[in-house]
């Protein structure tokens, strides 16, 4: 049985079991395509199959592209990663963070450093002014103290208020812009003092506003001029125009009805990103806002594997790519990252996971591999030493990297490495 047949069998079974409505997968090795597979539907109601040119909402898989944009400005001398964020966004000049009161340990604070474990005891916390300002590299490493909305921590609840306002204004003439969103987030109390720990959050969205300030252009304009356009990523943007809407995959969620799994269409927005993506947004989310296809994203991945160049276009210098893809957290930051189940053996930097100890991983991994995934199940992994890229496209609510992703990845890696 060929690799393609093995992969398609697993994918088809996932469709039959209502794990997903449909998906596609693309892999390259040594600059040559080794496999393209697809299964199921992009739109079940209209009978549109998943295709190679299906447009996918990337959500957090937008983050590596945002990091690359920052690297472009860094190597040109327009952005110093050690600079305070307030140099670009003055709203960040005076910040505060939640600190545990002396004598009260983590257990008393509800074990809040583990995602989803308990509810933070606000009475055990006090608000203190930051002594170390948030720096640009904190945004790239998620060591900023900025968090995503959640109901279990005080910092998360403050972030939720900002996103609730963004959602209320989303379809109005007064929709919140990238910079205004960053300024609003600057008014939230940080989860910890910048640099002192790690937590996944809105850092990439704020970085988008920093890129605007450093470049003098809207974030989307900078991306198109400096990265997407030169790479020929014609289907990658913060919105999907009318003539391409029929190629935008629908989103589904798996539910259980009468003891049987089924799929329901999901049409809600998330993180102030419109589900239909019909119009250019005021808020161009560096953390979640882009849509793309597998072939488009492969151009970005290929550029990184080739140390910054593709088809004659030089996007980044080799030293910049090595810096971008070789990052590692400090030991005291890594201890917080280690709570992320499923990323054992990995560290984090420049808005990506980076494998440092493959024998600790729960998947077949390789030292130096890097990438990220998306909320709806898109997945990206580059293996620089092995010259391998794996991309997957799924549009399932709350999927991220889940069992199906790991099964397909393990099958492919075992076969080709």
Q: What is the pLDDT along the chain (417 residues), one digit of tens a residue?
A: 999 999 999 999 999 999 999 999 999 999 999 999 999 999 999 999 999 999 999 999 999 999 999 999 999 999 999 999 999 999 999 999 999 755 444 333 333 333 334 566 665 789 999 999 999 999 999 999 999 999 999 999 999 999 999 999 999 999 999 999 999 999 999 999 999 999 999 999 999 999 999 999 999 999 999 999 999 999 999 999 999 999 999 999 999 988 899 999 999 999 999 999 999 999 999 999 999 999 999 999 999 999 999 999 999 999 999 999 999 999 999 999 999 999 999 999 999 999 999 999 999 999 999 999 999 999 999 999 999 999 999 999 999 999 999 999 999 999 999
Query: In whole angstroms, what separates CA 54 from the centre of its chain?
Result: 19
What CA–CA distance (Å, rounded) separates 412 from 390?
A: 9
Please answer whether residues 383 and 366 qualify as being in contact, where contact means their C-beta atoms are separated by less than 8 angstroms: yes
Token pair of 82, please?
A: 């050690």
CB 91 within 8 A of CB 178: no
Q: In the prediction, which pLDDT does 161 show?
A: 98
The span from the CA of 368 to the CA of 384, in Å, is 7
Residue 189 gets which letter from DSSP?
P
CA distance 42 to 395: 8
pLDDT of residue 367: 98
Closest to 66 measured CA to CA, from 273, 172, 211: 211
- Return all residues near 42 (Cβ < 8 A) that are at least 6 apart: 21, 22, 48, 49, 50, 51, 54, 247, 249, 250, 395
CB 181 within 8 A of CB 166: yes
Beta bridge partners of 379: 373, 392
Strands (E), 155-268: 251-257, 260-266
pLDDT, residue 216, reads 98
Is residue 251 within 8 A of residue 395, CB to CB? The reply is yes
Q: Do the Cβ atoms of 235 and 378 come closer than 8 Å?
A: no
pLDDT confidence of residue 125? 83
Cα distances from 355 to residues 11, 64, 358, in angstroms, run 26, 15, 6
Q: How far apart are the first and last CA of the chain?
A: 18
> What's the alpha-carbon Rg for the chain, to the nearest Å?
21
Give the CA count within 13 Å in the CB-facing half-sphere of 401: 21
CB neighbours of 243 closer than 8 A, spacing ≥ 6? Answer: none
CA dihedral (262, 267, 271, 272) in degrees, to 10, reads 180
Among 298, 293, 311, 292, CA closest to 371 = 298
pLDDT for res 111: 35
* Strand segments (E) across 203-319: 251-257, 260-266, 291-292, 309-310, 313-314
């Amino acid at each position: 049985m060929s690799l393609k047949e093995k992969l398609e069998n697993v994918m088809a079974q996932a469709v039959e079991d209502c794990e997903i409505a449909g998906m596609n997968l693309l892999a390259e090795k040594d600059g040559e395509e080794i496999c393209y597979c697809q299964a199921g539907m992009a739109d079940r109601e209209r009978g549109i199959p998943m295709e190679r040119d299906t447009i996918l909402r990337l959500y957090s898989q937008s983050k590596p592209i945002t990091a690359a944009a920052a690297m472009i400005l860094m190597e040109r001398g327009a952005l110093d990663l050690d600079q305070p964020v307030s140099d670009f966004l003055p709203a960040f000049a005076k910040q505060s963070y939640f600190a545990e009161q002396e004598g009260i340990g983590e257990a008393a604070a509800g074990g809040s450093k583990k995602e989803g474990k308990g509810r933070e005891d606000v009475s055990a916390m006090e608000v203190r002014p930051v002594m170390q300002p948030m720096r640009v590299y904190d945004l790239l490493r998620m060591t900023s103290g900025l968090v995503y909305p959640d109901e279990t921590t005080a910092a998360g609840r403050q972030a939720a208020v900002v996103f609730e306002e963004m959602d209320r204004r989303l379809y109005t003439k007064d929709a919140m812009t990238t910079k205004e969103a960053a300024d609003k987030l600057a008014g939230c109390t940080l989860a910890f003092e910048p640099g002192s720990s790690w937590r996944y959050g809105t850092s990439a969205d704020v970085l988008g506003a920093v890129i605007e300030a450093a470049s003098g252009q809207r974030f989307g304009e900078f991306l198109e001029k400096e990265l997407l356009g030169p790479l020929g990523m014609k289907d990658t943007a913060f919105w999907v125009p009318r003539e391409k809407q029929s190629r935008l995959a629908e989103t589904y969620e798996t539910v259980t009805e009468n003891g049987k799994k089924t799929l329901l269409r999901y049409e809600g927005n998330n993180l102030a990103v419109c589900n239909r993506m019909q119009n250019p947004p005021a808020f161009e989310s560096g953390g979640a806002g882009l849509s793309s296809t597998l072939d488009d994203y492969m151009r970005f991945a290929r550029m990184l594997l080739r140390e910054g160049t593709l088809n004659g276009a030089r996007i980044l210098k080799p030293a910049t790519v090595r810096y971008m893809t070789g990052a590692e957290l400090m030991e005291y930051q890594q201890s917080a990252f280690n709570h992320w189940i499923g990323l054992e053996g990995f560290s984090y930097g420049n808005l990506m996971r980076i494998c440092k100890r493959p024998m600790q991983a729960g998947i077949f991994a390789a030292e130096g591999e890097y990438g990220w995934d998306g909320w709806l199940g898109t997945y990206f992994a580059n293996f620089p030493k092995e010259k391998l890229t794996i991309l997957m496209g799924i549009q399932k609510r709350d999927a991220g990297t889940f069992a199906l992703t790991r099964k397909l990845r393990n099958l492919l890696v075992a076969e080709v490495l």
